[in-house]
Amino acid sequence: MRVLVTGGAGFVGGNLAESLAREGHDVTVLDNLDPYYDTGIKERAVEAATAAAESGGGAYEFVEGDVRNAALVEDLVGDAEIVYHQAAQAGVRTSVDDPQKPNEINVGGTLNLLDAARDADIERIVLASSSSVYGKPEYLPYDESHPTTPVSPYGVSKLAADQYARVYHEVYGLATVSLRYFTVYGPRMRPNMAISNFVSRCLNGRPPVVYGDGSQTRDFTYVDDVVDVNRALLRDGSADGEILNVGSADTIAIRTLAELVRDELAPGLEIEYAESREADAEHTHADVGKAAELLGYEPSTDVREGVRKFVDWYRSNREWYEPLVLDAYSNN
Q: Specify the 3-state DSSP secondary structure of 125.
A: strand
- Under a CB-based contact definition with an 8 Å cutoff, are residues 247 and 144 in contact? no
List, in order, residues 6 or more apart from 268 with CB less than 8 Å away. none
d(CA 193, CA 178): 23
Residues 136 and 284: their CA atoms lie apart, in Å, by: 9
Amino acid at 10: G
Q: Is 164 a catalytic residue?
A: no
Whether the CB-CB separation of 117 and 125 falls below 8 Å is answered with yes
Contact 295, 163 (CB under 8 A): no
Q: Tell me, what amino acid is at 46?
A: V
C-beta separation of 191 from 156 below 8 A? no
Beta bridge partners of 29: 5, 62
The active-site residue out of 37, 84, 142, 154 is: 154
Read off φ and ψ for residue 38, nearest 5 degrees: -55, 125
DSSP for 260-279, written as a single string: HHHHHH-TTPPPEEE---TT
Give the H/E segment covering residue 19: helix 11-22
| Residues designated as active site | 154
